[in-house]
Amino acid sequence: MKPRTFSWIRLWALVKKEFIHIVRDPRSLAMAFLMPLILLILFGYAITMDIKTLNLVVYDQDKSAASRHYVEGFPASSYFSVVATVENYADVRALLDQGRAHLALVIPPHFARDLEQGRSARVQVLADGSDANTATIALGYAEAITNRFSTTRLDSKVELAVDNRLRVWYNPELKSRWFIIPGLIAVIMTVITALLTSLTVSREWESGTMEQLIATPVQPIELFLGKMAPYFVIGVLDVLFSVAMGVWVFDVPLRGSFLFLLGVTAMFLVGGLSLGIMVSTIAKSQLVASQLAMVVTFLPAFLLSGFLYSIDNMPRFLQAVTHVVQARYFVEVLKNIFLKASPPAFVAGDLIFLGLFAVAVFAVALGKFRKKLA
């Protein structure tokens, strides 16, 4: 009996063939290269570029230490600058109407007393409604700053009196762009990698070429590596382009080692690409496979990776869930590489998990794949 062994010839044939598919199909080529950059621009701007300095007018009727402390939180956040301090409503209105202020803060006379007595103090905010978008963002930030102030109080809190509660959906914790862009790159790449491989495998099931392929002596591991290799190269380039955009478009400094970045990217890609392959062992049509890939990557990466919402603030069981979210580790390590807030040894744990994830998912995909129809 012919020994069934791994063949480099077959693997190389599969790799070449896959490259040809990509190169000759402008659509998949565009998707592979443009999608991450477009997503980065869209989300990057949506999340961070709204963070411009907003003009604030303050009417402090209390003039207490507490109220001053509260107001100071606004310029301190770097999103607001106090353009005027006024003594009556007429001036508030005038400044808003002239467009010189985006937001007005009116602190009631009993602000400090209410807080001391453990009641909640209601602060009135008024926004320039002519630019609804900016007003929304300003209100959202005001709310975030107010919440932050409240958490420093033990038994009392400050509430904003706003008619329509508008929340800032993105960036609710007011993280700075430097933190968000590295995380965003990790999130986008998580989605893209799984999508790319899940599509290329399911396309073969759908078009009938897989039926022909599984009737040959090809080995599943050759098939997987052959599918992953070209997308690995694309993934590395995607990450490099995204990082370059982070640096030059979003002004995030890249302080860490470039080689470290490449190494981590490689580890991440093996896991991400394997995840896409695993998805395609379950979903054999392109539509289902791409949807499944999106579901298993996008939501967890967006919500549970710690990129927008700090994992420490999550309920316990969600914190536990985040351990199997691959993006979590890549987000952490990328932030570390960009900002070098801590030495690389600090993220050793994340690296180990990234490696474990890659090995585990590849093994599961390999175990699940059958050279059979139906």
Q: How far apart are the first and last CA of the chain?
A: 27
Which two tokens mark 188?
Answer: 């986008």
Tell me the residue type at 192. Answer: I
- Whose structure tokens read 């009392």? 156
Q: Does 29 bind other proteins (CB under 8 A)?
A: no
Q: Does 215 bind other proteins (CB under 8 A)?
A: yes
Please work out the total of residues on this chain that contact other proteins, with binding judged by CB under 8 A.
Answer: 28
Q: Which is nearer to other proteins, 26 or 129 (CB)?
A: 26
User: Of the ranges 49-57, 91-99, 350-358, 365-373, which one interacts with other proteins (CB under 8 A)?
Assistant: 365-373
Burial of 342 (0-12, 13-18, 19+ CB in 10 A): exposed
The 3-state DSSP class for residue 44 equals helix
User: Of residues 35, 218, 236, 249, which one binds other proteins by CB under 8 A?
Assistant: 218
Q: In this structure, how many other beta carbons lie within 10 angstroms of the beta carbon of residue 12?
A: 13
Q: In this structure, how many other beta carbons lie within 10 angstroms of the beta carbon of residue 203?
A: 18
Find the shortest distance in angstroms from Cβ 212 to other proteins. 3
Q: Which is nearer to other proteins, 7 or 147 (CB)?
A: 7
User: Of the ranges 10-18, 41-49, 177-185, 272-280, which one interacts with other proteins (CB under 8 A)?
Assistant: 10-18
Find the shortest distance in angstroms from Cβ 4 to other proteins. 6
The 3-state DSSP class for residue 59 equals strand
Q: Does 206 bind other proteins (CB under 8 A)?
A: no
Q: Which is nearer to other proteins, 164 or 216 (CB)?
A: 216
CA-based torsion, 353, 358, 360, 361: positive or negative:
positive
User: Of residues 6, 20, 99, 287, which one binds other proteins by CB under 8 A?
Assistant: 20
CA distances from 203 to 196, 235, 277, 370 (A): 11, 19, 12, 16
Number of H helices, E strands in the chain: 14, 5
User: Of the ranges 169-177, 211-219, 268-276, 340-348, which one interacts with other proteins (CB under 8 A)?
Assistant: 211-219
Give the footprint of other proteins on this chain (CB under 8 A): 1-2, 4, 7, 9-10, 12-13, 16-17, 20-21, 24-25, 208-209, 211-218, 371-374
